[in-house]
Amino acid sequence: MILSVCDMPEVLRVMRIVNIVIKIIRIIVPILLMVSAMIDLVRAVTNSELNKITKPMVAKVVAAVLIFFIPVFVRMIAIIADNDREYEKCLADITSEDIQKAYTNQAEALVERAEKSKLLSDYNNAIIYINNIKDADQKSDYQKRLEEVKKEIDAQKKPVGPGTPTGPVQDTGVLKIYYFGIGRYDGHLIIGNNTVLWIDGGYESQAKKVIPFIKSLGITRIDGLIGSHMHDNHIKAHIEFINQFDIGGVYYAEDPGQCLSKKTCVKRSSDPTKLMALVKEKNIPMTILGRGYNTNIGGLSWDIVAPNGFTTGGSYPENNNSLNMILKFGNHKFYFSGDHVRSNEILQSYDASTLDVDIFKWPHHGQESVSNKFLDVLTPKYIIVPNSSIGSQAQSGISHTKATGYATGSDGYILAESDGTTLTVTRVNKR
């Protein structure tokens, strides 16, 4: 299936706005011109100066008529410029249903392409469009088709997964999560099912603090490098990780190379240009993680519960666009929140069967406010704050849930270990 530019939902959204503006202009401006002409006429008759306003009044009437016919002129230009009349559909009256249909058509085309090509880039592009489909059944159908595509892609790459040991990290049947203390920055190392994952990490300088410890564990490969959101103080560390480890893939909620142009991040606090250049140079596969998508990264299973679409504007839109991810291992679940929890949005789509967790990583370095209503569904036994101390916002949540609270500290880490049945959490002051 080959789609034209006018089948692109992004184009239709822009053209819908253009059409609305044109309609407003063609109605309001002629009315204003005609009213102005009538006022001039009344004044001229009143002052016996009819001969003075004839030409200006006629000019206003002609202008009003011409403006009223703007859509006709625009369509004529489109027809002259394109004999096949391909672009005329771009100028038609566009509804929100038309835009949704365009998203569906585009998703179908991209899923078909991914099924044929078995390329990760085509798979990632399809995921982006699927996340914009509102029909739950259609969305689920496309996701299932892409899951099969991803299995074939992973099989071609021979990824790390259960029973596929690579390097010194072997499957002991125990999941280990290191919540690192690197000042007030997030940094999480996850080891289990022969898979090694790293989430966030602060700036490059913070990465340099933790990489020696990670290497001391015998780790030479990071199977998944995950960025919760586009803030430099979360993903700049990935540059150092890419330089010092074999990276199986990078995982983000959106393409970091597009966040500035889409205004889902702002340059004063986010500039992923260097990171994206390095990802392309090293030919590292990138996967876009969408809300509602249950996925395996290596041999570990995740539920992605946010974000549902991206926000722009405000001081730091990056925070609002944080991935909210739940890692599932046996009977235990671990919530990673980035810098923001869209609690109302998440609660509308998920209940306790998905959201009840054992460990909740408090967002925004312990400074984000999380509603008690949301915490009542999560019911965490442990709350971990990536900061040198537990701030008032996180302390309030710990008190409400009666969970055990930990701050990672300036030079330590919290270690969570699970065999799927038993969970232990311990604090290590020095690494």
Per residue in 206-242, pLDDT (tens digit) is: 999 999 999 989 899 999 999 999 999 999 999 999 9
Q: Are residues 187 and 304 in the same domain?
A: yes
Q: Are residues 328 and 419 in the same domain?
A: yes
Cα–Cα distance measured from residue 227 to residue 332, given in angstroms and rounded to the nearest whole number = 22
Cα–Cα distance measured from residue 296 to residue 300, given in angstroms and rounded to the nearest whole number = 5
Percent of the chain with pLDDT over 70: 75
Contacts of 8 (CB under 8 A, 6+ apart): 102, 106
Rounded to an integer, the average pLDDT of 22-47 is: 70
Q: Is the pLDDT of residue 158 over 50?
A: no
Residue 128 belongs to domain spanning: 97-157
Rounded to an integer, the average pLDDT of 58-73 is: 66
Q: Is the pLDDT of residue 318 over 50?
A: yes
| C-alpha to C-alpha distances, 197 to 77, 215, 299, nearest whole angstrom | 55, 13, 10
Q: Are residues 87 and 102 in the same domain?
A: no
Token pair listed for 166: 């690579």
Please state, rounded to an integer, the average pLDDT across all residues of the chain. Answer: 82
Q: Of the given ranges (36-45, 77-86, 341-350), which has the lowest mean pLDDT?
A: 77-86
Does any domain span residue 81?
Answer: yes
Backbone phi, psi, residue 422, to 5°: -110, 135
Last residue of a domain, one of 125, 157, 189: 157
- Cα–Cα nearest to 197, from 336, 310, 319: 336
Question: Residue 159 — pLDDT band, cuts 50, 70, 90?
Answer: very low
Contacts of 184 (CB under 8 A, 6+ apart): 365, 386, 387, 388
Tell me which DSSP letter residue 368 carries. S
Cα–Cα distance measured from residue 346 to residue 127, given in angstroms and rounded to the nearest whole number = 20
- Cα–Cα nearest to 242, from 270, 213, 201, 271: 201
Cis omega (within 30 of 0) for bond into 71: no
Name beta bridge partners: 276. none
Q: Are residues 90 and 102 in the same domain?
A: no
What's the pTM?
0.65
Rounded to an integer, the average pLDDT of 49-78 is: 64
Question: Residue 137 — pLDDT band, cuts 50, 70, 90?
Answer: confident
Question: Residue 164 — pLDDT band, cuts 50, 70, 90?
Answer: very low
How many domains are contained in the chain? 3
DSSP result, 231-283: -HHHHTHHHHHHHHSEE--EEESS-GGGHHHHTSS-TTT--THHHHHHHHHTT
Token pair listed for 152: 């074939």
Q: What is the pLDDT of residues 107-134, one digit of tens each?
A: 888 888 888 877 766 777 777 778 778 8
Last residue of a domain, one of 131, 157, 183: 157
Q: Is the pLDDT of residue 1 over 50?
A: no
Rounded to an integer, the average pLDDT of 183-199 is: 93
pLDDT for 341 equals 96
Q: Are residues 64 and 106 in the same domain?
A: no
Going through 68-194 in order, the beta strands assigned E by DSSP cover: 175-180, 187-192
Residue 335's H or E segment, with its range, is: strand 332-336
Q: Are residues 31 and 82 in the same domain?
A: yes
